[in-house]
Chain A
Amino acid sequence: MPIRYRALRALLANSSVALSVVGVLLLATIWWGTFMFAEFESEAATRATRASTVELAETYEAQVARTLREIGHALRLVRHAVAQQQALGRGVGAPVLPALEANELLPPSLLFTIARTDEHGAVIESTRPLPDTSVAGMDFFEQQRDYDSPVVGMPWRDPATGGSLLPFSYRVSAADGAFAGIAVVLVDPEFFVASFDQARIGTHGRIGLLGADGFCRILRQGGASSSGSQVDIERLARSAETPATIEWDGARGYLSARPLYDFPLFVVVGLSEADGLAAAGAANGSHIRRALFGSALVLLVLGALGRVGWTMQRARTRAAEEQAAHAARVEHLAFHDSLTELPNRAYFTRFLTQTIALSKRNGRQFGVFLLDLDRFKVINDTLGHGAGDELLREISSRLKSVLRESDFVARIGGDEFVILVPETTAERQLSRVAERILEATSRPVSLPGSEVRVTVSIGIALFPDDGGDHEALLKHADVAMYHAKAEGKNNYQFYSEKLNEHSLGRLALEADLASALNNNEFVVHYQARVDARSNQIVGAEALVRWNRPGVGLVPPLEFIPVAEETGQIVEIGKWVLREACRQCVAWHQEGFPGLRMSVNLSARQFSDRVLLDDLQSALQQSRMPPELLELEITESMLMRDAEQAKRVLGAVRGLGARTALDDFGTGYSSLSTLKHFPFDVIKIDAAFVRGALADQQDRSLTDAVIAVGHALGLRVVAEGVESAEHAQFLRARRCDELQGYFFNRPLPADEFAALLRGWQADAPASAASVQPIRRTGRAGKIK
């Protein structure tokens, strides 16, 4: 992983505090900003409200001023018309309005009513009927008596319509200057505020006309209009340019009053801050909503980051735990045997080294036991690996059960166990331990399908007497163990120097044997099989010999059992099979067609799964006619697993080869079981043949065997024919083929070839001439 990702991950994982701080800062910023903005907006709204107040006041002033100018103009026209009438010598009462109206010199009659009174207040003429026929006693009329300047009266209620009329009057003078009545324009005061609805002035805003006397002529607030209320005009007079701040029903507002010039009036405009702020408030609401949204977003993102960090942290912790568990598991696996859960060789070696070091310091002694299961390979081969494993588990648990806690048991090889018995000095004590082990392991073990009895061989070495380091101790325990095996197994032996020498010989043999195959040290010798009637050599039996460097030919009995134990026998057997086939085909080509070749199979080979493959490849490589190849197995191999044997034999015959039962009569099988197995040939054991001449019982048995063999349709071969008498006897019993030193001892290939050629020239004479050199039992064969 790139460093920056790792750094990011570390940051995420370790920064819940940092995230919180960042979150708080962000939120604080958002809200501080929002409130600052709101404050700013609010101030702006206040400023805007004040500005709007001024602006509206100016606009309103202009509009009212224009209207008042028109009204003034109309009144002046009326006054002028009256003056003209008087100049023409007509009375003050002569009507002037119709002419003015006809010439459209008066304000629109739809909205404005123009009237004129005489000096007593009686209405002389009007463009529209008035509520009353006299205005005497009304404020504007009475004022106008005394003042020449224009007057604006209080609204005049019109009971007929329910509306009211606002009078704007001028004084009309007679030619002599005496008061001659008034000219008045009456207009519904609503006319001045009709254009200002709530949308323009707000709910709390006010607009209207205020008389210089301090009384409102018309004041619209919200949707309603009123008049008559009194206002401190002095104070308002100062608010023309800068609106006054006023409290209306607890709400702050800004009021501006501007004086007008045609009539003693002020326009009054007031806007409420609440209305001004409503827009700002709405904006604030949206700001707050935005801030809330932003906050939620920040919290969400930080929460997500926090969660990711937390998950990562947890994953990391879990990974660390898993790693630790894995390490422990690996450690356990590295130092324990997975099958039995016992410590393994590595663990044991370490422990032994430590114990040696400790014991050296403390001057203590201890014993090392090396255990090997007897016959374990056989069990493994015949019952299968599963059973073998089960057996090993059972044995290891039995070992643990008979040992002390302080004793250290380990499995260091396939069927090898080692036990370290610490702080022990007396051999007697160790012997008791060994006996307990022997007793415990020799009890029958129940395995799936069968019950087996295994024994162990134990070799014991002592520290420090038998070795000062772990290699020496183990080696010497091994030597003692082999000695125990040599002593017939199921016993224990203490190491001694003498044992060591013997065992070294065996170890050397094993070592040499291991490389013998690669070094081409094996040779095959051949012994002839002679047809009993024709006296012709019809076949040969292949017999392996080991040409051990520096020693010479090693008798089969000395190395075959070792090869069986180490398992090398399988490879050796395979080689013999191929070599025998190759040689046989060579002889066929040299002029001995039809020569049979017989090869022994070992127990291990026979149970080996690849036997058939090996057989097939040997036949193919050598181009050996299968029907000329004969495989020999012993009775004991049949008995280990009858079904398996039957199957393998059948398969061998399926390939075209022949099968022979070797050493017949020495095993435990009854004659009757023979018929269950697919054999072509039986070979009577040499022991019977040798005894046949002297021993009546052996003779009878030989008779019986030959008879049974024939009865079952098998070819009967007698081994161990050492003399002409033997041959004579067996021919008389109609034995089919003969084999033995009487004809020839096992010979190297070239010598056997010579024999073949000589035999061909003069068979019977040659048979007599080839005398056995030794008379000691049969030749070694692979078993």
Chain B
Amino acid sequence: MGRCAVMVVLAVALLARPAFAVGAEFVVIVAVHSPVTVLASNEVADIYLGRLRRLPDGRTVLPVDRFESDGVQEAFYREILQRNAAQLRAHWSRLVFTGRGKPPRQVRSDAELVEFVARNPHAIGYVAPALVTPSVRVVRIDP
């Protein structure tokens, strides 16, 4: 009984977390034909930090990032990667300098990003919810 109550409270707290409410909102997208429907938040982070190159089902994954920094990118970095841009650069500096990885591909605009994702079944990206087109699908992110 008590344990149930605690779990309920925890669930409410997690659901109530303002994860996507602070700053600009974003959604993680994949090509509409991609079998990926749901990813854990830390899986997304690992993909963007170069730690995860294949999904659990064995498919390679190709993260795409934006050149220009804006509110959406900041939000994505903060919420999912839990780093700021400088920290992310330092992270990739170390990996690249020691030859252990390659940073996500960068594109110049949201439209380009959506298009790239739509065309590439391995790609994964993030955009403001409003920019989602029928050719991409929003992936549910589990906390």
Contacts and interface: CB of A to CB of B under 8 A. Distances in A.
Bound pair (A, B): yes
A108 interface: yes
B89 A111 contact: yes
Contacts of B90: 190, 194
Interface stretch (B18-26, B38-46, B103-111): B103-111
Given A109-B106, A188-B89, A195 B99 contact: no
B96 interface: yes
Contacts of B96: 67, 108, 111, 191
A621 interface: no
Interface in A384-442: none
Given A128-B67, A188-B89, A110 B103 contact: yes
Contact of A110 (B94, B97, B98, B104): B104
B104 A195 contact: no
A108 B92 contact: yes
A63 interface: yes
A67 B102 CA distance: 13
A109 B67 contact: yes
B93 interface: yes
Interface in B43-78: 65, 67
B103 A108 contact: yes
Contacts of A111: 89, 92-93, 96, 103
A191 B102 contact: no
Interface in A183-221: 188, 190-192, 194-195
A192 B89 contact: no
A194 B97 contact: yes
B128 to A, nearest CB: 21
Interface string A106-117: 001111000000
Interface in A523-571: none
A191 B103 contact: no
A66 interface: yes
Given A104-B105, A128-B67, A110 B99 contact: no
B93 A190 contact: yes
A720 B109 CA distance: 169
Given A110-B65, A128-B67, A194-B93, A63 B98 contact: yes
Contacts of B102: 108
B67 A191 contact: no
B115 to A, nearest CB: 13
A192 B90 CA distance: 10
Contact of A67 (B89, B94, B97): B97
A191 B90 CA distance: 7
A429 to B, nearest CB: 122
Contact of A191 (B97, B105, B106): B97
Given A63-B99, A128-B67, A188 B105 contact: no
Given A110-B65, A110-B89, A188-B89, A194 B94 contact: yes
A56 to B, nearest CB: 13
Interface string A238-263: 00000000000000000000000000
B66 to A, nearest CB: 11
Contacts of A104: 105
Interface centre among B94, B96, B99, B106 (most CB of A within 10 A): B96
Interface residues of B, number: 17
Interface in A92-112: 104, 108-111
A128 B93 CA distance: 17
B67 A195 contact: no
Contacts of B103: 108, 110-111
A105 to B, nearest CB: 13
Contacts of B94: 194-195
Most buried by B among A109, A110, A190: A110
A195 B67 CA distance: 24
Contacts of B65: 110
Contacts of A63: 97-99
A108 B65 CA distance: 12
Contacts of A110: 65, 88-89, 92, 103-104, 106
A666 to B, nearest CB: 119
A701 to B, nearest CB: 124
A195 B98 contact: yes
Nearest to A197: B94
A63 B103 CA distance: 17
Given A108-B92, A128-B67, A192 B97 contact: yes
Interface string A613-656: 00000000000000000000000000000000000000000000
A24 to B, nearest CB: 57
A104 to B, nearest CB: 7
Contacts of A191: 93, 96-97
A291 B106 CA distance: 62
Nearest to A108: B103
Nearest to B107: A109
B74 to A, nearest CB: 15
A128 B96 CA distance: 19
A188 B93 contact: yes
A726 B99 CA distance: 161
A496 to B, nearest CB: 127
B84 to A, nearest CB: 13
A128 B89 CA distance: 15
A194 B92 CA distance: 9
A346 B80 CA distance: 116
A195 B91 CA distance: 9
A191 B106 CA distance: 18
A652 to B, nearest CB: 101
A94 B116 CA distance: 26
Contact of A195 (B89, B97, B105, B106): B97
Nearest to B91: A194
A46 to B, nearest CB: 28
A157 to B, nearest CB: 17
B67 to A, nearest CB: 7
**Taking each of B93, B97, B106, which has the highest tally of chain A beta carbons within 10 Å of its own beta carbon?**
B97
A197 to B, nearest CB: 10
A108 B101 CA distance: 10
Contacts of B92: 108, 110-111
A110 B65 CA distance: 9
B138 to A, nearest CB: 25
B96 to A, nearest CB: 6
Contacts of B88: 110
Interface string A346-386: 00000000000000000000000000000000000000000
B70 to A, nearest CB: 15
B113 to A, nearest CB: 14
Query: Which 8 A-B residue pairings sit nearest by Cβ, starting from the closest?
Result: A194-B93, A110-B103, A108-B103, A191-B93, A195-B94, A109-B106, A194-B94, A194-B90
26 contacts: A63-B97, A63-B98, A63-B99, A66-B99, A67-B96, A67-B97, A104-B105, A108-B92, A108-B103, A109-B67, A110-B89, A110-B92, A110-B104, A110-B106, A111-B89, A111-B92, A111-B93, A111-B96, A111-B103, A128-B67, A188-B89, A190-B93, A191-B97, A192-B97, A194-B90, A194-B97
Given A67-B97, A110-B65, A190-B90, 15 more contacts: A63-B97, A63-B99, A108-B92, A108-B96, A108-B102, A108-B103, A110-B92, A110-B103, A110-B106, A111-B93, A188-B93, A190-B93, A191-B97, A194-B90, A195-B94
